[in-house]
Structure 1
């Protein structure tokens, strides 16, 4: 399969790239910066998995950047099978509602919610190309969400991040309705609390474990399910739909 992963140069994104390459897939690794210091690990993977990895400049907050990336993929590969919207920021963590920087709040919404909208807007035609070009592949759009976006388990704090993930979950629901006649798996995934730059060192879960679970889901899609959410349990390391 041909898979686009945003935020691919570290954390869960990098683990998803590495796991996908090991499983024989073609990966388009979307990164905000293509400076050597920011993509060192991706460049090392590119040497090992020659011909499987393309590194793309994609700033999800810049629609022109997304458009150019989509054009580049269409020119070289004609289609993608899967979009994984992984790029996100976590800011204003310890701020009360009275202390929130509104500009920073809008920045989180722009990256975490509107960013995936931009990516889907311009890459959905390439997913449709995949459905007609390679009948053996499965098409999916995966939004990496968070339990912070749960309404039933809401907590004080993390206002920008939580709000952006609630909106991302609604995007998933709307996409599922919009694409219900097409054989495309649409899911929001809560990946669990992972030990990454965002999750911190105290997190109990390794991003590679979550990446393995996500790839199992991608290779064994649940197209006919009415559910739009997947949850990876932190302790049991399993998926519950």
Structure 2
């Protein structure tokens, strides 16, 4: 598979990239800056031809469009998109103290970015009946309306919107052999998750790749799930 992964330079994005190339896939690894991306460089040296690091700030539609044009010029199709890039701002801030700039910035990265990525890369995803192609939007249990907890306003609300976008994509792509899911990756030890997180990003990244590779039994109407492919409360 040719897989585009955003935010591929660290945390879950890097582990998804590593797991994908270990399984024989080719990854177009998006990162905001190509400077000092040592881990991706080392990975590309270990797996020659399987890791292509590209400058991709998901808030910049021109960069996304340029990537799509580059892939098209190289006659490369896209089998999967993993919208992983995300940000967590104003953690623990009350609504009374919430800076609205943080809300705007969060939506730019967590929602508008994935929407623009899909807008420009979906035309490069051939339709088919086998369902092997997919758009995986990394969401969060924080986006569950059922389990709303009254905090992390920018992050949680942006992930709720991400879930809606994923459901809309699932409906839109029905019959084209392209799946669309919102996936809660678990609370994992990353820069965002922190050291107290119980989850292992390596293990959870591999579970997410199992979802991509059709190794999980997922009901057709499920669109919001955890990293194991199990339905999450909407």
- The answer, yes or no, to whether TM exceeds 0.5 is yes
Unaligned runs of 5+ in 1: 233-237
Give the aligned partner of residue 60 of structure 1: 58
Residues 44 and 77 (structure 1 numbering): CA distance in 2 closer, same or farther, change over 3 Å? farther
Match of 1:143 in 2: 137
2:4 is aligned with 1:32: no
Deviations 1:90-120 (A, max 9, x none): 0000210011111111000110001100000
Structure 1 contact 183–223 (Cα < 8 Å) conserved: no
From 48, 71, 74, the counterpart of 2:72 = 74
CA RMSD of aligned residues (A): 1.6
Q: Is the 8 A contact 2:190 2:201 kept in 1?
A: yes
Q: Which runs of 4+ in 1 moved over 4 A?
A: 221-224
- Greater CA drift, 135-144 or 51-60: 135-144
What SS does structure 2 have at the residue aligned with 1:240?
coil
* Residue in structure 2 matching 1:203, options 188, 197, 203: 197
Question: How do residues 53-132 of structure 1 correspond to structure 2 at under 5 angstroms?
Answer: 53-128=51-126, 131=127
**SS in structure 2 opposite 1:148?**
helix
8 Å Cα contact 1:184-1:223 kept in structure 2: no
* Partner in structure 2 of residue 235 of structure 1: none
Question: What is the TM-score with the length of structure 2 in the denominator?
Answer: 0.94
Contact 2:139 2:182 in 1 (8 A): yes
Q: In structure 1, what is the Cα distance between the partners aligned to 2:198 and 2:185?
A: 12
Deviation of 1:24 after TM superposition, in Å, equals: 0.4
Structure-1-length-normalised TM-score: 0.91
CA contact under 8 A between 1:81 and 1:137: conserved in structure 2? no
Distance 1:207 1:176, change over 3 A: same
* Pairs aligned (count): 230
Q: Where in structure 2 are there 5+ consecutive unaligned residues?
A: none
For the 8 Å contact 2:218–2:230, the answer to whether it is kept is no
**Post-superposition shift, 1:136?**
7.5
- Which residue matches 2:212? 218
Separation in structure 2 between the aligned mates of residue 2 and residue 206 of structure 1, nearest angstrom: 25
Cross-structure match for 2:9: 9
Shift, 1:75, TM fit: 2.1
Aligned-partner SS, 1:225: coil
